[in-house]
Homo-oligomer: A and B are copies of this chain.
Amino acid sequence: MLGMFGVRACSGMLGFRTVTHVRTLQSFPGITVAQIDEEVAKLLELKARLGGDDGKHQFVLKTAKGTRDYSPKQMAIREKVFNIIINCFKRHGAETIDTPVFELKETLTGKYGEDSKLIYDLKDQGGELLSLRYDLTVPFARYLAMHKITNIKRYHIAKVYRRDNPAMTRGRYREFYQCDFDIAGQYDAMIPDAECLKIVHEILSELDLGDFYIKVNDRRILDGMFAVCGVPDDKFRTICSTVDKLDKVPWEDVKKEMVNEKGLSEEAADQIGAYVSMQGGTDLAERLLQDHKLSQSKQACAGLSDIKLLFSYLQLFQVTDKVVFDLSLARGLDYYTGVIYEAVLTQAGVAPVTSEAQNGPMAEESVSVGSVAGGGRYDGLVGMFDPKGRKVPCVGVSIGIERIFSIMEQKAVASAQKVRTTEVQVMVASAQKNLLEERLKLVTELWNAGIKAEVMHKKNPKLLSQLQHCEESGIPLVAILGEQELKDGVVKLRVVATREEVDISRADLIGEIRRRT
């Protein structure tokens, strides 16, 4: 069995390509370990396809394309980010739920438009046809309809799956976390919508990712705008998708796509162009309500009035400083019916997104440089699942947690600050041989008292290697046992940072460790 796992050194043409590739990397100063890993994985995959030089099957030691392991350091950062986000959700009174990683295939059918091709299907092994979840919103709507829940404020943090072209160095994976907060229920207009924006504001402020702003718009304003600009009804969604590209490509290119690819008249495109360049606050909504053309659309007026109402609540929530009414915001997904929003980081220090990354079908996630949250109102989705079509109005937000992980990891590297991966308070060590039993007795006392403690799994470890382990993993204290200490009924407590040592009586040890950590 072992033989088949052998990975041999590269040879022939493949070897040559590896070498030139590495040269390219060396001449590129900002290269990261993750990028190298990604390249190595690609080459190993290629090698496996080539079949090796003896034609035998080669086992490739890797994770599936577009996925990654999380190391303890990454997990420590992930835990920190999750804690901030979950605390915010809990502060706002949210419950949490969980749903299975796969759903019946037909539960997902017809919910994602042309992105459906990115859904992972399970093999038909007899029984039901299943697919991995593509987001958390559709399972949430299925959950509400199935359990007949008409109002809930819930968060859900879980992984979702998209067969997209991964760009892992830019934080884009085939398996990635979504971190969703939604309010379902029949409430008065814009109050839950405003709370979602308040939550985005709180989370991005607490995560301390640098300056940000939140764009808001409304699907009804977009649809009204399309109508008054002369877009045929059946082209609303496809023109909307084109508008969605405005944060990545200049207006000229968007216009070209509208006219050349989508068959819109140049006049209609120009009229849209005038509207989507507008940004402002409640004043802009006010002005557009007076706009002779747009005000002819009832839909647009309803959307504009709600934007005004939304801003009045945002004022009370003290978050208007970061919110911009932006008519170019369109968002990718079909199911939005009202307010939509998206939070964007404005600061440097964010990994640059190249043009290559911007054209993928994952536009939802990589909408713009530094997009870290997005969402909106979707009042029709639950009704698609309910046997009687009963609607449950919903509004929600999804935090782009993978990008936030990437930024936090970069910050951790940049700050050169040590990321602790355990919370151990004290290491039980010995300076002499034959003290394993005494070490195990002492560490048992500490564990039983709830102290986080470690002991080396060796009979006679060297004191130096025990101290080195503390330095490496950031353990602040060492409880050292020796013949003399045992005779005197004390433990030598050493502070790793200062090397200060003090004898503590056995009875006082637990209290002393608690005091010092």
Interface residues of chain A, those whose CB is within 8 Å of chain B, are 1-2, 5-7, 45, 59-65, 67-72, 75, 78-79, 90-104, 106, 110, 120-125, 127-128, 130, 132, 142-143, 145-147, 152, 154, 159, 161, 163, 175, 183, 185, 187-188, 191-192, 195, 198, 202, 313, 316-318, 383-389, 421-424, 436-437, 440-441, 444, 447-448, 450-454, 457-459
Contact = CB atoms under 8 A, between A and B. Distances in A.
A467 B233 CA distance: 47
Contacts of A145: 61
A98 B498 CA distance: 35
A389 B5 CA distance: 8
A122 B125 contact: no
Contact of A386 (B5, B448, B451): B5
Nearest to A2: B389
A289 B145 CA distance: 64
Contacts of A458: 187-188, 191
Nearest to A106: B59
Contacts of A91: 447, 450-453
A362 B452 CA distance: 35
A506 B91 CA distance: 20
Number of copies: 2
A424 B79 CA distance: 22
Contact of A100 (B130, B146, B175): B175
A120 B384 CA distance: 29
A69 B98 contact: yes
A93 B5 contact: no
Contacts of A437: 316
Contacts of A454: 92-93
B61 A385 contact: yes
A125 B101 CA distance: 18
Report the 6 A-B pairs with minimum CB-CB distance, sorted nearest first: A187-B457, A72-B95, A67-B100, A93-B454, A70-B98, A121-B123
Given A90-B422, A91-B452, 11 more contacts: A61-B146, A62-B146, A69-B99, A70-B98, A75-B95, A93-B424, A185-B457, A187-B457, A198-B447, A316-B440, A316-B444
B317 A440 contact: yes
A188 B434 CA distance: 13
A475 to B, nearest CB: 8
A315 B92 CA distance: 48
B313 A440 contact: yes
A120 B121 CA distance: 11
Contacts of A384: 1-2, 5
A385 B59 CA distance: 9
A97 B70 contact: yes
A101 B192 CA distance: 34
B128 A64 contact: yes
Contacts of A457: 183, 185, 187-188, 191-192, 195
A60 B79 CA distance: 37
